[in-house]
Amino acid sequence: MASFAQVGISVNIAPPELPVYEQPVCPGDGYIWTPGYWAWGDSAYYWVPGDWVMAPQVGFLWTPGYWGWRGDGFFFNEGYWGLSVGFYGGINYGFGYFGRGYEGGRWDNGQFFYNTAYNRVNGGAIHNVYNARGGESGGTRVSYNGGKGGIEARATSQEEAAANGRHTAPVAAQTQRAQAARNNPQQRSSANGAAVHPKDLAPIARSAAPHTGNAKLDQKYQKQQDQLNARQNQDRQKLQQQQDKEHQRQSKQQASKVKTQQTEQRHQQQTHQMQARHTQQSQQMQQRQSGGGGGSHGGGGGRH
């Protein structure tokens, strides 16, 4: 896979799902949206929020960084600025970054035009706008490429050319934002809902089935929702029991600190995968009950 710069640290646990968040309003002409991402530091993932960043040169676009599996761990591929958008792992960061290219705006005669279908723009201050949909992909919030459960996407020849062409590293505002996020305990994955064990998760709320106006059908749909919730609670209990047994076994064996940490990382990955599976099950049921009607456009990285 093509990339600009691969950060040399290998992490053996996958990054958490991309959180859902609101995009701030664009501050002015020439600013490009750079989506949020998970970074690694101090033995944990932390969230670097998305932000509007002034393009370093007219005509430059942002290729987001991404985590990719390399056979023995996850490595982070640094984002970069260039004349075209390169490969970013097929990750759906939302707000125009749906896995391939960028649908959030385009340069035209030295001026950046914003696609208001995917970006929050103050129409009173910025007039170089248009509205066009069509680039959205599925609603997955998976934040890494390759490996178990990862996005299975590969770079095209055009994306490889972008990585090998003229480009520049993140600007100072971006590196400063990443450093501030690392120093903020609230940005760590543990504070962003990346639970280590099922018991750390918030209780499963009773899902309300859609109201069709047909009492008998509504009752049927609600029963399906309740059965799904019960199965998901059973999944949680089963996984928690399995993890508790591992803790007890390691305690008896007086396992080393390194081995204990590896077990905790594996437990976090198991819990994360279960959460992703449950989210997918709930989404599929909602789609079936609503007749397969439109899901959210714009992907897992953000609401639009």
Q: Average pLDDT per run of 10 along the chain, which is 304 residues long? A: 54 86 90 95 88 96 96 92 96 94 96 95 86 75 91 94 91 94 77 66 69 86 90 92 90 79 80 79 79 40 42
Taking a C-beta distance cutoff of 8 angstroms, is the pair 152, 146 a contact? yes
* pTM exceeds 0.75: no
The reported pLDDT for the residue numbered 8 is: 63
The closest alpha carbon to 299, from 9, 88, 7, 96, belongs to 96
State the Cα–Cα distance between residues 174 and 9, nearest whole angstrom. 20
The reported pLDDT for the residue numbered 195 is: 61
State the Cα–Cα distance between residues 143 and 120, nearest whole angstrom. 23
The reported pLDDT for the residue numbered 298 is: 38
State the Cα–Cα distance between residues 174 and 287, nearest whole angstrom. 38
Taking a C-beta distance cutoff of 8 angstroms, is the pair 106, 132 a contact? no
